[in-house]
Amino acid sequence: MSAISLEEYLSTVKIGPRQYHNKAGILSQTGGFCKTLNAKRVVISGGVKARKSVASALHSSLEKAGIPYVEYEFVGESSIENIEALNALIDSFNADLVIGVGGGKSIDTAKNSADRHNMPIITIPTVAGTCSCSSPLSIEYTNEGIYSRDYYPANNPNIVLVDPELLIHSPIVYLKSGILDSLSKWYEGHESIKGSSNADMFDKMALGISDYLFEQIMEKAEDAILANKAGKINEAFTDILNQIFFVTGVIQALGVKAVRNGIAHSVHNGLTVLPESHHLTHGEKVGYGILVQLLLREGESDTYKEYLSLCKKIDYSPLMEAMGLHIQQLEIHKIAEKVVSDPLMKRKPFDAIKSEDFEKIIKRIENVQG
Ligand SMILES: [Zn+2]
């Protein structure tokens, strides 16, 4: 096991994946990429649908390169049970490389297992929901989908393969989710760096990059969503994929000390206590967390209004009620308790925020009395 501690994680400067490719048809070169990593036996890990969507290009490329492979059927959460089952397959097949295919939870599981084996990983995102394919972080959940902890792999993924032809046909909810999750880096970064005692030049670089990401998303998100709806790649779509997969991963990697997840992601983690929230994507919950953060920290400011207008443009409504969750006082109390139990909420500058503060804001958003 080569996971590193939080302290080591914070003191190690990482940038992004060693290689990043965004090109139609790139999966047909996977076998060659495996060879550059000296791989001889490979485990492909991903859900049934995700593996099916890449099967013909991926399998024929590996076969052409003479690399034997087996597949792990990922179902459910990035949980210890999934990680251990994948570990067992890696061991029994004597694999020396993992290919993680799918969305955030599936890729997080693959990154986790690869790190525990000290072996390289190639990631192939089949939905644009998060930056998991290039980030140096794997999040563990219980089998029930409740957030349990962050796991810090020693390295970023080695090679990321993005095929826009594949992603243009993926469900729009994931692109929306990826846009919101990426945007959270800007909102959270500017908030968390303020009270941080250990921000350094790398964090400042991450914050600068997050400004660029913010501009790009505000300018291009709507066109990217329209492209996804029409199933036709345009420049905005390609650019937004790069923002979600690469730029966000770089911000995450460079800004670990002070430009890091803050309130919005803690609210996301809080929401996971509700079983009914598990059908929502990561970004839908993070998008809600951005709204909570903005109201908590600055009220109905111009930034808040600008955020709501972006939400409208991408057809996202940051309201639990609109996402099909009818939450009442008791649930709000549970969410708020979970939010403040988050390790990041216990650090400066968030440690003074109380669970009652969250309760108040969520009640206000959802219009719950009492
Ligand atoms: Zn996230």
Determine the Cα–Cα distance for residues 370 and 365; give it in Å rounded to an integer: 13
- 329 occurs within a structural domain: yes
**Of 121, 141, 167, which closes a domain?**
167
Strand extents, DSSP E, the chain: 19-22, 42-46, 69-73, 97-102, 121-125, 138-141, 147-151, 159-162
Q: Is-contact 193 256, C-beta < 8 A? A: no
Q: Are residues 250 and 349 in the same domain?
A: yes
**How many whole angstroms from 145 Cα to the centroid of ligand 1?**
15
Report the separation in Å between the CA atom of 137 and the middle of ligand 1, taken as the mean of its atom positions.
Answer: 10
Q: Is residue 11 part of a domain?
A: yes
182/260: higher pLDDT: 182
**Do 12 and 155 fall within a single domain?**
yes
Whether residue 185 sits in one domain with residue 93: no
C-beta separation of 273 from 334 below 8 A: yes
Q: What's the Cα-to-Cα distance from 201 to each of 100, 115, 154, 187, 256, rounded to whole Å?
A: 32, 28, 21, 19, 12
Q: Please name which of 221, 37, 26, 246 lies closest in space to residue 121, comparing C-alpha atoms.
A: 37
Do residues 223 and 262 both lie within one domain? yes
Q: Report helix angle 172-194 to 235-242, nearest 10.
A: 50
Kindly give the distance from the C-alpha atom of residue 166 to the centroid of ligand 1, in angstroms, as a whole number: 22
Report the amino acid identity of residue 200: D
Tally Cβ neighbours within 10 Å of residue 128. 31
| Domain membership flag for residue 23 | yes
pLDDT value of position 1: 54
Domain end, chosen from 102, 136, 167, is at 167
In 3D space, the residue among 264, 274, 328, 266 whose CA is nearest the CA of residue 294 turns out to be 264
Tokens representing 356 are: 């009652």
Residue range 256-303, pLDDT digits in tens:
888 877 899 999 999 988 888 888 999 999 999 999 999 999 999 999
Q: How many angstroms does the Cα of residue 156 sit away from the middle of ligand 1?
A: 16
Is there a single domain that holds both residue 129 and residue 201? no
CA of 59 to the centre of ligand 1 (A): 30
| CB-based burial label for 356 (10 Å; 0-12, 13-18, 19+) | exposed
Q: Please, which residues have CB within 8 angstroms of residue 78's CB and are 6 or more apart in sequence? A: 104, 105, 106, 108, 109, 112, 138, 139, 140, 141
* 240 within some domain: yes
Task: Please check the confidence at residue 176 and state whether its pLDDT lies above 70.
Answer: yes
% of residues, the chain, pLDDT over 70: 99
User: 12 or 177, which is more confident?
Assistant: 177
Are 238 and 351 in the same domain? yes
- Domains of the chain: total: 2
What band does 324 get if pLDDT is binned at 50, 70 and 90?
A: confident
Residues 334 and 188 in one domain: yes
Evaluate if residue 370 carries a pLDDT over 80: no
Question: In CATH, what number is assigned to the domain containing residue 278?
Answer: 1.20.1090.10
**pLDDT at residue 22 above 60?**
yes
On whether both 201 and 152 belong to a single domain, the answer is: no
Query: pLDDT tier at 12 (50, 70, 90 boundaries)?
Result: confident
Q: Would you say residue 209 lies in a domain?
A: yes
**Between the ranges 152-161, 190-199, 253-262, where is the mean pLDDT highest?**
152-161
Give the domain-ending residue among 122, 138, 167.
Answer: 167
Report yes or no on 1 lying in a domain: no
The verdict on residue 253 lying in a domain is yes
- Rounded to the nearest angstrom, the distance between the alpha carbon of 248 and the centre of ligand 1 is 10
Clarify whether residues 130 and 22 are in a common domain.
Answer: yes
Q: What is the DSSP letter of 71?
A: E
Do 138 and 186 belong to one domain? no
Residue 93 C-alpha to ligand 1 middle, in angstroms? 32
**CA 172 to centroid of ligand 1, rounded, Å:** 17
Contact yes or no for 261/182 (Cβ under 8 A):
no
* Ligand 1 centroid to residue 298 C-alpha, Å: 22
Single-letter code of the amino acid located at 227: A
What is the residue-wise DSSP string for 300-346? S-HHHHHHHHHHHHTT----TGGGT----HHHHHHHHHHHHTSGGGG
Report how far apart, in Å, the C-alpha atoms of 83 and of each of 51, 98, 136 are.
18, 12, 17
The domain containing residue 283 runs over which residues? 173-366
Query: What do you get for the CA distance between the two ends of the chain, in Å?
Result: 48
252 CA to middle of ligand 1, Å? 10
Q: Residue 278 has what pLDDT?
A: 83
Distance CA 80, CA 92 (A): 18
Cα(327) to ligand 1 centroid in Å equals: 23
Least-confidence region, from 4-13, 242-251, 335-344, 356-365: 4-13
Pair 33, 90 in one domain? yes
**Domain of 162: which CATH number?**
3.40.50.1970
Average pLDDT over residues 227-255: 96
* Residue 299 maps to a domain: yes
Q: What is the reported pLDDT for 34?
A: 98
What are phi and psi for residue 22, nearest 5 degrees?
Answer: -125, 100
Q: Tell me the C-alpha distance between 63 and 78, whole Å.
A: 29
The confidence band for 325, taking pLDDT boundaries of 50, 70 and 90, is confident
| pLDDT, position 260 | 76
Same domain? 33 vs 92: yes
